[in-house]
């Protein structure tokens, strides 16, 4: 499909069809990204940063159990 040409057709109802070698092709359309919010003012930026830090500190980190295989020392393993 690289460097090949396809024909894009639009009928009177506004339906779009893509033809490649005379056969219809399936396609998807993408939505445009939403408009970004306005920048924060200098008066509210400290509050937003404080909220983000609180949220990050709330999350607990995962700590694997003591009985995991890889936590055991190599000296206790039996060699065959």
Rounded-to-integer distance, Cα 41 and Cα 43, Å: 5
Q: What is the pTM of this model?
A: 0.38
Tokens coding 34: 């939403």
Q: Would you say 19 and 6 are in contact if contact means Cβ atoms under 8 Å apart?
A: yes
Tokens coding 17: 């069809």
The residues spanned by each domain of the chain are: 1-30
Q: Does the structure show a pLDDT above 90 at 74?
A: no
Q: What is the pLDDT of residues 26-67, one digit of tens each?
A: 989 888 888 888 888 888 888 888 998 988 888 777 777 777
Backbone angles phi, psi at 70, to 5 degrees: -75, -10
**CA-based R_g, the chain, Å:** 29
How confident is the model at residue 75, as a pLDDT? Answer: 61
């Amino acid at each position: 499909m690289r460097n090949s040409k396809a024909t894009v057709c639009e009928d009177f109802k506004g339906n779009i069809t893509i033809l490649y070698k005379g056969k219809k092709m399936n396609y998807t359309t993408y939505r445009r990204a939403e408009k970004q919010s306005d920048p924060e003012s200098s008066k509210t930026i400290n509050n937003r940063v404080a909220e983000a830090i609180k949220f990050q500190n709330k999350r607990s980190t995962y700590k694997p159990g003591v009985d995991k295989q890889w936590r055991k020392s190599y000296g206790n393993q039996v060699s065959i």
